[in-house]
Amino acid sequence: MRVLRFAAVLAVVGLVLAPGLSRAQTQRVAIGYQLIVNPWKVAIASGAFERATGWRIDWKRFDSGATVLSALAAGEVQIALAGSSPIAAGLSRGLDIELFWIAEDIAAAEALVVRDGAGIAAPQDLRGKTIAVPFASTSHFHTLFALEQFGIARGEVKLVDMQPPEIVRAWKQGAIDAAFVWEPVLSDLKATGRVLITSGLLSQWGKATFDGLVVDRKFSSQHPVFMCRFVKTLAAGVDAYIRDPAAWTPDSPEVRAIVGLIGGDPADVPKALSRYRFPTLVEQATPRWLGGGRDGGAARALRFTAEFLKAEKQVPTVLGDYARAVNPHWVEIARAGDC
């Protein structure tokens, strides 16, 4: 029964190869993804994106948004998954990209975890402690915002820049007292630590974060059919999860596919998925996310993030309007079926 259900999911996210597309897949694109738990990883594993677009796709794995956007700036990838903080940083540094898909509302899937035995019972106990976080990430943005809310000056803690795999090693060695990071590393740390505050709560306090897909603007303008079909496949993957999240159990093929790409324990994946919120194709273009111009949710979040990063001397400038880099067009044409 499970095999049949998985086959049905693949049929949805795989789509049918559109008429007129060459099966030789002569066109090629490189896409950077991260070790983040989300439903459309299943479509990567199944080859659904390649079948839907007819393109050859080189999937490249990165540890953080900062590294994947550096690769995009260097022309090593044309599409990248990154958090709202590195996206804001990239835009502020002049990267010519557009945000076209909200991969996930981070909510409780990123958190500040304190290590058992580190002597941190309350936020004020963070003073004098060593906190690891990937710099220029959404977790970094929320770490700084959390310290601000707690009334703790930057110089009162030791912030160290570490990628998720490094955080795991440092945690096991007792070299750090706390870390702000995402899944699946978050679940690893929680086994010997506890959550002090989540990104979900910090978002409620006024500074929202999200993960999004960005694309080189020249590439998207030159390949509108690819963009439309790519977005439709993203949406189908999200819909497959939303229809029956309870079916994504540790031993399900979907969860196994995710673990096969990003690693981790299958038992942690269903909980990790439940901590995110995945906007649907319809929701993507609303003012809550990509729609609404400069007053839209994504544009406002990018502006707030850039202002915060500039105050922390992480970026040189803040753009006058981040709405130019938020493009609901590909979602709108995918929804209309114009590809």
In whole angstroms, give the CA distance from residue 6 to residue 252: 8
| 172-229 per-position pLDDT tens digit | 999 999 999 998 899 899 999 999 999 989 988 878 889 999 999 999 999 999 999 9
Contact by Cβ (8 Å): 143, 180: yes
**Domain ranges across the chain:** 2-106+209-336, 110-204
Ranking 6-20, 89-103, 235-249 by mean pLDDT, the lowest is 6-20
Options 3.40.50.2300, 3.30.450.40, 3.50.50.60, 3.40.190.10; CATH of 110-204: 3.40.190.10
Give, for 270, the enclosing helix (H) or strand (E): helix 269-275
Do 110-204 and 2-106+209-336 fall under one CATH topology?
yes
| 256-289 per-position pLDDT tens digit | 999 999 998 999 999 999 989 999 999 999 999 9
| 45-103 per-position pLDDT tens digit | 999 999 999 999 999 999 888 899 999 999 999 999 999 999 999 999 999 999 999 99
- The residue behind tokens 């990838």 is 77
Give, for 222, the enclosing helix (H) or strand (E): helix 217-222
Options 3.40.50.10680, 3.40.190.10, 3.90.470.20, 3.40.50.620; CATH of 2-106+209-336: 3.40.190.10
In whole angstroms, give the CA distance from residue 95 to residue 183: 27
